[in-house]
Structure 1
Amino acid sequence: MRYSRRWMSTVIATASAGALVLTGCSKKDENTSGASTASSGAVKVAFVPKVQGIPYFEAMNTGGKAAAKKLGIQWIYQGATTGDAAAQADIVKSLIQQKVDVIAVAPNDPDSLAPVLKLAKQAGIKVMTTDTDAPNSARQVFVNQATAEGIGRALTDQIAKATGGEGEYAIVSCGQTAANLNSWIAEQKSYTASKYPKLKIADIVYAGEDQAQAVTMAKSLMSAHPNLKGLVGECTTSAPGVAQAVKEAGKIGKVFTVGVGTPTSMKPFLNDGSSSASVLWDVQNLGYLTAWAGAQLAADKSFQVSNKVNASMPAVTYTADQKMLLLGEPLIITKANAGEFDY
C-alpha cells in the first residue's frame, strides 16, 4: 500500500502512511520480521547501530532481516546498549576479526570511527554508513533516509504550525557529534530565520540517546525560558522525551512539541496532545535498503542512477559524487495515522 507524502508546511499528514517518496508503509498486518535463512556460507552483512535496543534501530533490524531472507544473505545486528563511540568502535573491530563481508554502521562519532572503518577496508571488507554518515571515512556508500533540508524544514514547519509561527522554541538533540542530527539543526537554524522571522531558537541541548535525560533537560529548558512555546526532540529518544516533559509539567496546550519519533513511541503523546507531530520515514524500509546495498557491494555491483530495490522501493536514487543512496522525503506522523505502523 502506498501513500502520498510531502514534507513542506502544506503536507496533509493524514494522507501519509508510508515512508518517503520511494516506499510503502509497514502496516501491522504485514510480516517483515523473518530472520535470514541463508546458509553459513552466505554473504555476511553486519549492521552496527548507534545503540541497540531502542525502537528505531530495532525497526531497522526488522527491515534488514526481511531483506536477508529475500536476498539469501546473512544479516548480523550488533550494537552497544549506550550511544558510546568507543564501544561502537570496539564492535566494528570485532566484526573485522570475524571477517564479515560488509559492515554498515550508523556512526555515533563519524570522525573517531573513521580510522576503524579504514582498517575494515584494508582487511578487504566492504564499508558503508546508514542513517548517519561519516563522509570523511573509507565508506563506499551512504544509505541516507532523507536530505538534511527535507528533515530540517519539515521539523521547522511542524513546530511553526503548532506555535502559530512565533515565539521561542528549543531543541533537545541526542549525540553532540551525530552528523545527521547536526545537519538537520543547521537547516532548522537557517530555515527558521528566513521563513519564520517571528520564531526564534532559544537553546539547543544534548541528551544523548537517553529518553529520561531528554525529559529532565526539557523540564530545565521550560524553567530557564518561561516564555518557551515549543520543544523539538531531534531524535527518536528525545522526541517522546520532550512530550513526556510537557505532559508531566502540566503544560499541554501551552508548550508544543514535535520531533523525530517512531509512530508507536509517539502515539500516546500525539493522542493526549503533548506532541503535535512526528517527522520520520519508513524505518523498516531503511533497514531493508541497507541490507540490499550491502549485498550489492559484496557482489561488486554498481549502483544505478535509479535502483529498483523491491515493489515498495522502485526508484531509489543514487548520487555518484556523494556516493549516496537516498530513500526519499520525510513522512509526517500525527494522531490520525500513528496507529498504522507496527514500530
Structure 2
Amino acid sequence: MKAAHYKSVVAGVGLALVLTGCGQGSGGSASGGDSGGESGGPTIAFVPKLQGIPYFEAMNAGGQAACEELGCTWLYQGPVEADAAAQADIVRSFIQQGVDVLFVAPNDPDSMAPLLQEAEDAGIKVGTTDTDAPDSVREVFVNQATAEGIGQALTDQIVDAMGGTGRYAIVSCGETAENLNSWIDVQREYTASQYPDVTLTDVVYAGEDQAAATQMATDLLNADPTLTGLVGECTSAAPGVAQAVQDAGRVGQVFTVGLGTPRSMADYLANGSSSASVLWNVQNLGYLTAWAGLQLSDDAGFEASNDVSSDLSGVEYDDSSKTLLLGPPLVITTENVGDFDY
C-alpha cells in the first residue's frame, strides 16, 4: 500500500501525525479509542505502545485503510505514555468488549503474556505487531523487518556517516522493548565483528520521550567529547539525538542516524544533523496487521508466501516462529524523504 493511497485516511488523523512527542500525563490511558475503518465484518483492535506519535498513527492509518477495503472494523487505542500498566488496562477493556481479534505492540512482553492468555480464553484471536511477546499464546507476530536487517542497517549507516572510524552511543527507548533490545544485540555484535575501528560505547534509555532523548544525548556528548556518532533507536529518539547535535552546534562533527518517521526527520536530514533514517513503510505494517487479523478471524491461516494486496505481494510467513515479515528495512535520506505522507 503506497503512501499516496492513504492520503484520505491520513487527513482524518492529521493532527496526530504532526505530534512528535509523547502525550502528557503520568501513564494513564488515552481517552477514547479511534474506531475508524468501520466496514462491518470482524472487529480488530490494535493497542500500540502509546498513542499520539507519528509512527503509531501511521500504523493506525494503514489499519483503517485495510478494513475499509477488506471489510472489517478497526479499533485503535493506546496509553498516552509508553507505560505497561496503562497499556494493560486498555487490553482488558478490549477483552471485556469482546472484540474478535486483538493485536498488541507490548511495552513489556512478559507482563503482557498473561493478558493475551486471558484474551484467548475469552475466545479472542490474539497477535502481536511491531513488537513481539514471543513467550505468549499469540498466534502471529507481524514483524516489520528482521532484527539482523534493522541492526545491521543502523550500524552501516552510522559507521558510514562517521567515516568508518570513531565512537558512538545509542539512545534507546523502553528498557523492556523486545524489538529494540534485539536490534541493539545485533548492533553490538555487528559493530565488533565488522568494524574494528568503531566502538559502541554506551546504551541509555529515554522511554518514548523525545525531550528525554535530547537531554540524554546531550549528557552523552558532554560526558565523552570523543563521541562522533549517536543512534536514536526509536521514532522519538531519532529526532531527539539529532536535536541534541543541532543544539550543541556540532553538525558535521557528530553524526546521527535512527529509526525516525520521514516527516519528523525531514528538517534534520536537510540541515545535516541526521545522516539517515532506517525504517520501513509504517502504513503498510498497519495494513498487514489488519489483513492478518482477518486471516485469524476466518481461521484461514497463512501461506509461506502471501499476496496481501497489489502493493504487498510475496509477504513471507515462517511457520516455526509464526511470523509474518513485512520485508527489508528502508533507508530514508534527503533523496526520498519527501516520498512519504507520515
Same fold (TM over 0.5): yes
Assess if the C-alpha contact under 8 Å between 2:38 and 2:74 holds in 1. no
Map 1:49-68 → 2, pairs under 5 A: 49-68=48-67
- What amino acid is the match of 2:230? L
Once the 2 structures are TM-superposed, how far is the Cα of residue 27 of structure 1 from its aligned partner?
3.3
Assess if the C-alpha contact under 8 Å between 1:28 and 1:342 holds in 2. no
Map 1:27-176 → 2, pairs under 5 A: 27=4, 30-33=7-10, 35-39=36-40, 42-176=41-175
Once the 2 structures are TM-superposed, how far is the Cα of residue 37 of structure 1 from its aligned partner?
4.0
- Taking a change above 3 Å as real, the CA distance of residues 37 and 110 of structure 1, as seen in their structure-2 partners, is closer
* Structure 1 counterpart of 2:189: 190
* Structure 2 counterpart of 1:211: 210
Assess if the C-alpha contact under 8 Å between 1:132 and 1:180 holds in 2. yes
1:38-95 residue CA offsets vs partner (Å, 9 max, x unmatched): 13xx210000000000000000000000000011100000100100001111110110
Query: In structure 1, what is the Cα distance between the partners aligned to 2:190 and 2:108?
Result: 25
* Structure 2 counterpart of 1:256: 255
Once the 2 structures are TM-superposed, how far is the Cα of residue 146 of structure 1 from its aligned partner?
0.1
Assess if the C-alpha contact under 8 Å between 2:7 and 2:341 holds in 1. no
* Structure 1 counterpart of 2:239: 240
1:125-172 residue CA offsets vs partner (Å, 9 max, x unmatched): 000000000000110000000000000000000000000111100000
Q: Normalising by structure 1, report the TM-score.
A: 0.91
1:170-214 residue CA offsets vs partner (Å, 9 max, x unmatched): 000000000000000000000000110110011100000000000
Query: In structure 2, what is the Cα distance between the partners aligned to 1:221 and 1:37?
Result: 47
* Structure 2 counterpart of 1:222: 221
Alignment partner for residue 3 of structure 2, among 17, 26, 30?
26
Once the 2 structures are TM-superposed, how far is the Cα of residue 105 of structure 1 from its aligned partner?
0.4
Q: Percent identity?
A: 63
Assess if the C-alpha contact under 8 Å between 1:28 and 1:341 holds in 2. no
Query: Relative contact order, CA 8 A, sep 6+: which one is greater?
Result: 1
* Structure 2 counterpart of 1:199: 198
- What amino acid is the match of 1:233? G
Query: In structure 1, what is the Cα distance between the partners aligned to 2:257 and 2:283?
Result: 21
Q: What SS does the aligned partner of 1:45 have?
A: strand
Q: What SS does the aligned partner of 1:169 have?
A: strand
Give unmatched runs, 5+ long, in structure 2.
13-35
Assess if the C-alpha contact under 8 Å between 1:281 and 1:330 holds in 2. yes
Once the 2 structures are TM-superposed, how far is the Cα of residue 298 of structure 1 from its aligned partner?
0.5
Once the 2 structures are TM-superposed, how far is the Cα of residue 29 of structure 1 from its aligned partner?
8.1
Give unmatched runs, 5+ long, in structure 1.
1-23
Once the 2 structures are TM-superposed, how far is the Cα of residue 336 of structure 1 from its aligned partner?
1.2
- What amino acid is the match of 1:54? I
Q: Normalising by structure 2, report the TM-score.
A: 0.91
